[in-house]
Chains A and B, each alone.
Chain A
């Protein structure tokens, strides 16, 4: 599953007509786009994160791992702007700030999925994914209500984008199915679809493979790799399945009890004695 970095590999018929327009070679790991410095977050007396620093480079797949309660989801929520850290600074696209703001973050091209699926259960898959286009919609409530003029053209354009995502994730057969009726694995895929519909530059995935069987995990891995490969999307993911993490990520940061205990390529991290002891549950 691991991609080779062989520079000899050429593009397969680049620039040719294809369903996905963005098929240019975007997968070149670039400069740092998100830099977190000395982040500390506590809820009352509970210290969720203590002095954590790491960065995310453009186009890479960055994994955050750690035992239960290590602070992984909190970390994602800090990036996402849901939690505001008491200490530390965040540099995003060259702009330094104390904390992120969820709405602004969404407009700046960060989309996410949740550990506990957060979809509208009564709405169809299509409508759910359409909500992912929310930040891109321009026309007003009134013209949308009567579906007239610009609103109409806009919706057609958004629908096309959504259909491309549906095609990409191979969920045509459930397009009109209410989300609540779908099995768990498919709901996870729909959530990814909604995030993708926002055409994000950075995608935050909170345990995208949790609770899936082997086959579903393989599919999901392929989708994550394809998203990264074809759209050049930077991906930050939290995952428990070590096999998955080691296979698909470029760099891994390891948290334990709110502290960073390792950071580097999958191989480096696996050799790190602190990481080994954290996972085998020895000395604490």
Chain B
């Protein structure tokens, strides 16, 4: 069952990230390295400038007492200075620890304590305030450096410094100790830890994943070769710094090839910035693609009838032949090719331009299953969207789909240099050079995750299909059995529900039960627009979710899923019998989702036990009060009388026939 793909890695001339930076400053000093939109204008730093900024900041850190082996917390959105701070820490042999910037102070405190943070760099006042709040219980944080000083004029705390001030300090230090920086940089070795990334904590407390320079650079080299990236490429950095994908796809690939990173003006302007930059390489979890498509569809529905008609007729052409044209298939009639070319001119081209995807060579999605309509939509209009599979512990990069070898329901073949094995219980095991060094200060957890043969246990259940593509079904531990022995794969069912634009989140229950039930979160944008179109008035999420017509709408979706499930002998027994629409959106602030927006199944089952009981007791409605946490940390209460509805189930297709 083992799938091996041995291939030697091309030797990189530099073995650590700081050396790569130095190399870029020498080979391509005047090429753009990073851009940021500031006051409405894209500001550019070339490689030579980035090198000197990083050097100044590194020396400044050293002047404050930052030493080899220390950790630097990095908290904020994608800003050039935060990337430079990570590079600077690495130059000194320190380890950057990026954190999720939207986490409340309490969540941050755990990571800051676990990672033994002394130095932190924060983006702005909001993050600085959080750090000072944490500092009361965690006095070891000795220096806080801030990028954007707005609102901090009256902060007199001696441990607070501005980024520019530290750089100034660093330039003085550099003049006084001219040998220091290069000595420190040369002392770094490839085996040292380059970065610690905390897992999102789907199960239990977050764990710090340590990656060495060697593992990261080897993986990034594989990635760069896989898609042929070079210094002319552009990437928009908009995903959280704390997520491995941002470090690997943005920062590491940039240092390796010299491609240019682009930082958006603010998290709200990403769509506009995307259009202005026109990146050539794009990565996003399925929900990002879904949001874009939802926006497009809403705007098309609001457009004039002629545009609407044109869009729909050419999308039909794209659906018919677009995928085959993208895959370079032969045997497509000239008339279809002509139609498609016309569509490119009138619809697909302008659409891609508006979305900022005109120049995309390759786009990836991963982390969650992607809906068939969604996937085909992008591919049919000529965007080379592909899937990949991986996790923080393996530097992502376990399997990826090669251009021209793309399937909807798989994650592709194992990457060069990655060995994938399926355990007897169906769990996917991985061995590669990109594996983590271990969990920070958790040898017990490391030993549990990596076995004696060096295989990492992913915890995902999957299998190889006939073509050698890996197919992932669910988390191994979530796959259960219903009372009658039918296989119950909750995520599989939830994903099918979530493929409908009206459904934002779903949680399915059924392990050990007679029948399957589900909670549904409606998508406020899509359902809101749908309601507006029909003249249904509503005051907010809770009100909209309780509307009779919305329940009918969702019931249709549930029944379509049931029809789908009925086709599958293994899963026909797990059709959804009853469902309810939750009165509030599941939210990471209420611990219902992880920061990467994965459902925390067990937590939800405990929190809403009363609703689950009502679903199985066959009640028509259930009253519930729920505490919610607002973004500023205040608590509030939402209560509602939730309706519970039944959905039609279907007999198994084969039996019926």
Contacts and interface: CB of A to CB of B under 8 A. Distances in A.
A222 B41 CA distance: 26
Given A167-B39, A172-B266, A9 B272 contact: no
A166 B162 contact: no
A14 B344 CA distance: 55
Contacts of B150: 19-20, 168, 226
Interface in B190-235: none
B269 interface: yes
A12 B266 contact: no
A173 B268 contact: yes
Given A172-B265, A172-B268, A173-B266, A163 B162 contact: no
A95 interface: no
A175 B162 contact: no
Contacts of B40: 159, 163, 166, 172, 175
Contact of B149 (A3, A13, A170): A13
Contacts of B162: 12-13, 16
A19 B165 contact: no
A283 interface: no
A191 B148 CA distance: 25
Contacts of B39: 19, 160, 163-164, 166-167
A168 B162 CA distance: 18
Contact of B160 (A12, A25, A159, A164): A12
Nearest to A18: B149
A16 B266 contact: no
Contact of B153 (A8, A23, A218, A222): A23
A282 B7 CA distance: 88
A229 B268 contact: no
Interface string B375-392: 000000000000000000
B35 to A, nearest CB: 15
Given A12-B162, A13-B162, A166-B40, A172 B269 contact: yes
A12 B155 contact: yes
B164 interface: yes
A173 B269 contact: yes
Contact of A12 (B153, B269, B630, B631): B153
B10 interface: no
A122 B272 CA distance: 20
**Main secondary structure on A side of the interface with B:** loop
A2 to B, nearest CB: 12
Interface in A22-50: 23, 25
Contacts of B155: 12
Interface in B268-292: 268-269, 272
Contacts of A229: 153-154
A116 interface: no
Nearest to A159: B40
A16 B164 contact: yes
Interface string B132-159: 0000000000000000111111111000
A173 B151 contact: no
Given A170-B266, A172-B40, A173-B268, 12 more contacts: A9-B154, A9-B156, A12-B149, A12-B153, A12-B156, A13-B164, A16-B164, A18-B149, A166-B40, A167-B38, A176-B272, A226-B151
27 contacts: A9-B156, A11-B154, A12-B152, A12-B154, A12-B155, A12-B160, A12-B162, A13-B149, A13-B165, A14-B153, A16-B149, A16-B162, A16-B165, A19-B38, A19-B39, A23-B153, A159-B40, A166-B39, A166-B40, A167-B38, A167-B39, A172-B265, A172-B268, A172-B269, A176-B272, A215-B631, A226-B150
Interface of A: 3, 8-14, 16-20, 23, 25, 159-160, 163-164, 166-168, 170, 172-173, 175-176, 215, 218, 222, 226, 229-230
Interface of B: 38-41, 148-156, 160, 162, 164-165, 265-266, 268-269, 272, 630-632
Top 8 nearest A-B pairs (CB, nearest first) are A173-B268, A163-B39, A12-B153, A163-B40, A173-B269, A172-B265, A12-B152, A13-B162
